[in-house]
Amino acid sequence: MTLALDEARRRSRVIEIVRSINIAVVVFLVFYLAVGLLQPTYLEPAGIMNFLRRAAPLAILASGQLFVLVSGGFDLSVGSLVTLTVIGGSMLTSNDPSKTYWAIAVLYAIGFVVGLINGAVVAYLRTPSIIATLGTLLSVNGAAMMWSGGAPRGYLPDNFRMFGRFVFHDVPLIKIFPLAIVVLTAVCGLAYWGLHGTVFGRRVFAVGDNARAAELAGVEVEYVRLGVFVISALAAVTAGVMLGGFGGVSIDVGLGLELQAIAACVVGGVQLMGGRGTLVGAVAGALTLTALFTLLTLLGLPQPLKETAQGIILIAAVAFGAWRQRRAG
């Protein structure tokens, strides 16, 4: 009898460990291994560092989007805010490196205001977040086009672009270490602490699970919704600064990133109706999408197929999440 109980406990522990593994982590490792088989340099330390550098902006966007999704909302405005950040950076600095840091401060202030507007419209005007942020997407894109005259102007100074481009060389063992990974680690650390280690994070989960019950329990739902949209907007500005470092000034830099951020979160197991999600899952989802896009590029497949694959993965991830939720229920 004792042996049978011990065996049952061991099986139970194994099952719990298996269930605790985020499926996105497994899928990412499979995709990355496929990438490494096609291009062995990706399996070298320098190749891994460069991959993480390219994945960092999407992972940061997903980290911000996670807060909104867990609270039961959507933020479709982040892609346009990325575009505004890149274009605004070039306009504010006017090719002058001495203006970089105050320009970045102004961009974060703009992001804060955009997030505050999104949160206020959703929280106080009771507008569905998908509609409110769609309006913001169009408005911010329009503002960016008017600001730049409809075309890229100027360039970003080197000290602005360093957050996406700068690399520490001659690092022991790994050879190179991009500054973008430092930024990604700092953002993810703050996001993990904010969502999983604070009272505010617990309130975000409560609002996403049942906003009415959270309100009756004394949670200030409006403030929570304001907070998650501000966090998402600030993450978008951070991603915009990094993407400006990668590719310079472009009016299309943020195109489609809002959907990629949502897809990354869903692939990572975030529940679209709110109340469930982890930072590890969101980041793993972003890494998975980046690995998939890299794999399709190495296979020589066209851009439309990449978008099709992204849509199929999103549908499959939502369907798998719904199936798993039914099984748990």
Cα(168)–Cα(202) distance, rounded to whole angstroms? 38
> Are the C-beta atoms of 53 and 178 separated by less than 8 Å?
yes
Give me the chain's average pLDDT, please: 87
- Residue 318: closest CA among 38, 69, 67: 69
pLDDT at 11: 58
pTM of the model: 0.90
Name the residue ranges covered by the structural domains of the chain.
42-254
Which regions in the chain score pLDDT beneath 50?
Answer: 14-15, 17-18
In a 13 Å sphere around the CA of 321, the CA atoms on its Cβ side amount to: 23
160: tokens are 């602005």
Residue whose token pair is 């969502």: 195
Integer Cα distance of 180 and 316 in angstroms: 31
What is the three-class DSSP state of 77? Answer: coil
The neighbouring-strand residues paired with 177 are 168
User: DSSP code of 274?
Assistant: S
Q: At what angle do helices 221-247 and 78-93 cross, to 10 degrees?
A: 50
Give me the pLDDT at residue 2, please: 58
**Helices marked H in 21-96 — which ranges?**
23-38, 45-70, 78-93
Provide the 10 A C-beta neighbour count for residue 65.
Answer: 33
Q: Three-state SS for 248?
A: coil
CA-based radius of gyration for the chain:
21
Look up residue 126 and give its two tokens.
Answer: 């009771």
| Cα–Cα distance list, 92 to 74, 101, 287 (Å) | 30, 10, 32
Model confidence over 99-110: pLDDT tens digits?
Answer: 999 999 999 999
State residue 77's pLDDT score: 94
Q: pLDDT digits over 57-72, tens only?
A: 999 999 999 999 999 9
202: its two tokens: 């617990």
